[in-house]
Amino acid sequence: AQSVTQLGSHVSVSEGALVLLRCNYSSSVPPYLFWYVQYPNQGLQLLLKYTSAATLVKGINGFEAEFKKSETSFHLTKPSAHMSDAAEYFCAVRPSNFGNEKLTFGTGTRLTIIP
């Protein structure tokens, strides 16, 4: 069984400030982890993914995330927020073993950027 917890359904940061969106996971086997972004009335776009290679993963739009096994975390960060980062962000987990491809999503964090 697997699950994802995103702490904070709403996060506000000032333009130019650090963005930190939290994700903790639970998985009975080594996980693959993903962050997606969703703009209003659109589908999800992949930001980045962890698939058991480097623990620090760099994605698009300046985002990165670090896999910390000891903390079962995969937090998303960006050094300097931009107005265009305002969106909803979803963390997702799936087991790494064969034959179990289903993603389990968190409930999302809505990011607001303050001018």
Partner 1 sequence: DGGITQSPKYLFRKEGQNVTLSCEQNLNHDAMYWYRQDPGQGLRLIYYSQIVNDFQKGDIAEGYSVSREKKESFPLTVTSAQKNPTAFYLCASSPDRVGVSPQHFGDGTRLSIL
- Residue 100 structure tokens: 């179990």
Instruction: Pick the closer one to partner 1 by CB: 72 or 96.
Output: 96
- Give the residue among 68, 70, 61, 59 at the shortest CA–CA distance from 22: 68
Instruction: Pick the closer one to partner 1 by CB: 17 or 64.
Output: 64
- Closest contact distance (angstroms) between CB of 25 and partner 1 is 13
- Closest contact distance (angstroms) between CB of 14 and partner 1 is 25
Instruction: To the nearest 10°, report the CA torsion of 62, 21, 13, 59.
Output: 10
- Cα–Cα distance, 86 to 5 (Å, whole number): 20
Q: Which residues sit at the interface with partner 1, rule CB under 8 A?
A: 9, 32, 34, 36, 41-46, 49, 51, 90, 96, 98-99, 101-103, 105-108
